[in-house]
Amino acid sequence: MAPGRWIKPEVYPLMAAMTFVTGMCIFQLARNMLMNPDVRINKAHRTTAVLDNEEEGEKYAQHSLRRFLHQRPPEIMPAINEFFSSNK
């Protein structure tokens, strides 16, 4: 190992995977904290027991990625599925 190296090169893929997963966790936590209608950080909003915000909840649940995926067929590899399901 070179004198200036403190991380072995074989650790890089693990660091990349852990950085990606940590980024996904931080993104989801921030999204829920800032955009979820059920999370109330503001003191004035915490006093209400039940919020009447059905349209806001629907907007949060039906985000753009989910709307895009609803338009796509539910197959991951349609060509392979079609090949193995054909009756020849």
For residues 67-87, give the mean pLDDT: 82
Q: Is 50 within the bounds of a domain? A: yes
- Distance, CA of 70 to CA of 68 (rounded, Å): 6
Domain count, the chain: 1
Q: Is 32 within the bounds of a domain? A: yes
Q: Is 2 within the bounds of a domain? A: no
Q: Is 80 within the bounds of a domain? A: yes
Q: How far is CA 67 from CA 8, 16, 58, in A?
A: 43, 30, 12
Range of the domain at 48: 9-85
- Distance, CA of 29 to CA of 22 (rounded, Å): 11
Q: 17 versus 60: which is more confidently predicted? A: 17
Q: Is 16 within the bounds of a domain? A: yes
Q: Is 14 within the bounds of a domain? A: yes
pLDDT digits (tens, 9 = 90+) for 28-59: 999 888 888 777 777 776 666 666 777 777 87
Q: Is 27 within the bounds of a domain? A: yes
pTM: predicted TM-score of the whole model, two decimal places: 0.54
Non-local (6+) Cβ contacts of 41 within 8 A are: 33
